Structure 1
Amino acid sequence: MATGIKDKVAIIGMGCSRFGERWDVGSEQLVSEAFCEALADAGIEHRQIEAAWLGSALDSVNVGNSAIPLSTTLRLQGIPVSRVENMCATGTEALRGAAYAVASGAVDIALAVGVEKLKDTGYGGLPVPTKGTLNDLWVPYCSAPAGFAQLAAGYRARYGVSREDLKRALAHVSWKSHQNGTKSPKAHLRKAVPMETILNAPMIAEPLGVFDCCGVSDGSAVAIVTTPQIARALGKQDLVTIKALQLSTSSGRESGMGEWDGSYVVNTRNAARAAYREAGITDPRGQLSQIEVHDCFSITELVTMEDLGVSEDGRAVFDVLDGKFDADGALPCQIDGGLKCFGHPVGASGLRMVYEHYLQLLGRAGERQLKNPTLGLSHNLGGVPYNGVAAISIVGLM
């Protein structure tokens, strides 16, 4: 029976570029910015990296359809380098590839890179899907805000939440991220926004207003992983290890069957159960120190609290309004500003989330440092609630 990879892989170095509208650089410079930080942090030589994974979901112009751009950018001569993509879970996929290689004993030290250069595409959000693909069997052609607005409608219908309570909770989600983003020097958006401004913003897709939607960014994040034994031999004292890495992908059942009411995300619940089992977590509300979730829209973050089991079903609205997930709350969420404010370069977001946990666990988060964190959970959601992929990574001190 599979035992998972809990504590079989240690993160010995991480780096993250500044996120934002990086018109002055290309993907290569973004990767180099994050890699140089990670390599210095790891305290190893470039030649010690034995395999690498490049995650990039949408940047076909700059990255192309192979891993060669990563090999040439970082001069990874003669080692296996693979490119992966899985929508918004792409960064986590890169980490999963590197972690599994180390856990299996295939290599001693591996590199995971996530990067995206999206501001040059000309789109304000994500590019429009291309017709004629297999994915068309299950994805209707609607905008991302429209797809996630349906999640809000399903949630309200199931739990009888008033529009006013839901709207105030959604505004609090966004307000919290903007407050936290001011303390993140590498964040895309670093300006606090008043609650009234959020509540009165123009509507995009009922009930989602302008401030309920995250934009996209340019950016890169990097992780270097090895075994705990090698990490100790390298002189690492406080080890951050991977406790779980799990993914769940749609089969079309959500939109093809009548059992799903649209009020939650099936894949997130599946991935969370598997991750908790792998990590040995029995009480996520009590055991987790911090969470980073895929707040592509404020409703996504709110519903994810229930999908992760840190709020009772139907109670996330009130937990949010009570400040449970604020920086000084019982379980801080998006302490660095999340996708909403730190930014969302799709291929890098999963690794950026782990980067925040890594900093917090090692006491390096500066002004936003939490008190004695021990376990951090990251959540990515690619696609739409009725057809997508959810990824969960859990890291903590060994």
Structure 2
Amino acid sequence: MASHGIKDQVAIVGMGCTPFAEAFGKSTDDLLIDAAQEAFASAGVGKDTVDAYWLGTAQSGMSGITLAKPLQLHGKPVTRVENFCATGSEALRQASYAVASGAYDVAMAIGVEKVKDSGYQGLNAFPIPNDGTARTLTAAAMFSMVAPAYAKRFGVDEASLREALARIASKNHYNGARNPRAQFRREVSSEQVCAAPPVAGVLGVFDCAGVADGAAAAIVVRAEDAHRYTDRPLYVKALSFVAGNGSGLLDPDYDYTTFPEVVACARDAYAQAGVTDPRHQLAMAEVHDCFTPTELVLMEDLGFAERGTAWKEVLAGTFDLHGELPVNPDGGLKSFGHPVGASGLRMMFEAWLQLRGEAPAERQIDTVAERHLALTHNLGGYPGEMVSFVGIVGTERG
């Protein structure tokens, strides 16, 4: 890729995040106000200080008015963006690039989703007309195909792979049980994961992330101005985005054991940030664990494990809360929940807490003592046709 990036040109100086839940007592407006007010307070600014806003939502609003109305913004540009499950990250990417360009001094990225009041499971976007040849499989079914493909390619027996997938779910629930903002705050054992009712293929209920209501927000400024707002900013090192062209579904050689868009996105992000050994340079990673096989493959696509070995690393505890490289210390999509427009910013909120040493003591990671970078990753779509975001932030500039 030919991305030059904006390394160390922009800093995050304030963040906010609501609890993720079936928030029947909260409206979209309420969630936006809560996340925005926490971010304003975090940066020590008011809404009028922010020059421009980027709102990410998949289906909870159709224009900038969705944010301008509840915040009562006057004369402010508000851009509504959407990019599948990477919508919140897209809002942050655009706000950051706008500040880096010099167009604005202060910008906010905010994401929200309010889907639980519908009574439907999952996302309830309207059916898009098609010619009848489009896939009819559910998201769980599409990602379930990753597991047998991985086992076949790398010679992993069914019991070992099932154990590794269950361990991923159990790990993330362990972390989420220690997070007061998480949707699901109960530990779930590997045995419970394996005994859960089946959903698709080898996937059971506990292999699948939940869908939630929630909002999260970030305030970004030029790096040289960061200490006017906080003494502990996070500097943007990389913001990479790749949109696939769907060719994986037409390629007979595509085998479901990798997500090419993620590989390309990670390669670009590491080049922007100057990261050459992510497993040992990153203090933590928040990744898009929409299903347990997704997280397994991501460990390899993001360069945290060699091809065909991530299942062993999972079982060895490499990615546990106090492992060599903590992954999803806040519980991930699996336990924290997944309001689509907010998830990418929720991941960044965890990086904000952990790198600044502000996470609750019972889930504060150890690696920040020696490493000062964090990675967040979103994907949207399905194996063979997806978008991918990788962001890297750090506590040190230069």
Asked whether the two chains share a fold, i.e. TM above 0.5, the reply is yes
Q: How many residues are paired up? A: 391
The 5 A counterparts of 1:19-98 are 19-59=20-60, 63=61, 65-98=62-95
Q: SS at 1:4's partner residue?
A: coil
Q: SS at 2:20's partner residue?
A: coil
Equivalent-residue separation in structure 2 for 1:29 and 1:254 (angstroms): 40
The 5 A counterparts of 1:1-398 are 3-59=4-60, 63=61, 65-127=62-124, 130-132=127-129, 140-232=135-227, 234-367=228-361, 368-371=363-366, 372=369, 373-398=371-396
Kept after mapping to 2: 8 A contact 1:153/1:263 = no
In structure 2, give the amino acid aligned to 1:260. Y
Equivalent-residue separation in structure 2 for 1:29 and 1:218 (angstroms): 11
Structure 2: which 5+ runs fail to align? none
Kept after mapping to 2: 8 A contact 1:87/1:383 = yes
CA separation of 1:2 and 1:186: change in aligned 2, threshold 3 A: closer
Q: Following TM superposition, by how much is the alpha carbon of 1:239 offset from its aligned partner in structure 2, in angstroms? A: 2.3
In structure 2, give the amino acid aligned to 1:396. G
In structure 2, give the amino acid aligned to 1:71. A
Equivalent-residue separation in structure 2 for 1:285 and 1:103 (angstroms): 28
CA separation of 1:142 and 1:340: change in aligned 2, threshold 3 A: same
The Cα RMSD (Å) is 1.5
Kept after mapping to 2: 8 A contact 1:91/1:349 = yes
Q: Following TM superposition, by how much is the alpha carbon of 1:128 offset from its aligned partner in structure 2, in angstroms? A: 6.3
Equivalent-residue separation in structure 2 for 1:46 and 1:283 (angstroms): 40
Equivalent-residue separation in structure 2 for 1:249 and 1:161 (angstroms): 31
Equivalent-residue separation in structure 1 for 2:190 and 2:229 (angstroms): 47
Equivalent-residue separation in structure 1 for 2:294 and 2:190 (angstroms): 19
Q: How big is each residue's C-alpha offset from its partner over 1:177-201, in whole Å with a ceiling of 9 and x where there is no partner?
A: 1110111111111011122111111
Runs of 4+ in 1 over 4 A off after TM superposition: none
Kept after mapping to 1: 8 A contact 2:3/2:272 = no
In structure 2, give the amino acid aligned to 1:9. V
CA separation of 1:260 and 1:129: change in aligned 2, threshold 3 A: farther
Equivalent-residue separation in structure 1 for 2:72 and 2:226 (angstroms): 24
Equivalent-residue separation in structure 1 for 2:125 and 2:226 (angstroms): 43
Equivalent-residue separation in structure 1 for 2:31 and 2:240 (angstroms): 27
In structure 2, give the amino acid aligned to 1:180. N
CA separation of 1:292 and 1:258: change in aligned 2, threshold 3 A: same
Equivalent-residue separation in structure 2 for 1:146 and 1:257 (angstroms): 19
Q: How big is each residue's C-alpha offset from its partner over 1:233-291, in whole Å with a ceiling of 9 and x where there is no partner?
A: x1532221111111111112211223322211111101000000001100111101101
Q: SS at 2:185's partner residue?
A: coil
Equivalent-residue separation in structure 2 for 1:316 and 1:2 (angstroms): 29
Q: Following TM superposition, by how much is the alpha carbon of 1:298 offset from its aligned partner in structure 2, in angstroms? A: 0.5
Q: How big is each residue's C-alpha offset from its partner over 1:140-166, in whole Å with a ceiling of 9 and x where there is no partner?
A: 111011000111122122112111111
Q: Following TM superposition, by how much is the alpha carbon of 1:127 offset from its aligned partner in structure 2, in angstroms? A: 2.5
Equivalent-residue separation in structure 2 for 1:173 and 1:50 (angstroms): 41
Equivalent-residue separation in structure 1 for 2:64 and 2:21 (angstroms): 24
TM-score by length of 1: 0.95
Q: Which moved more, 1:382-391 or 1:346-355?
A: 382-391
CA separation of 1:390 and 1:2: change in aligned 2, threshold 3 A: closer
Equivalent-residue separation in structure 1 for 2:392 and 2:75 (angstroms): 32
TM-score by length of 2: 0.95
Structure 1: which 5+ runs fail to align? none
Q: Following TM superposition, by how much is the alpha carbon of 1:101 offset from its aligned partner in structure 2, in angstroms? A: 0.4
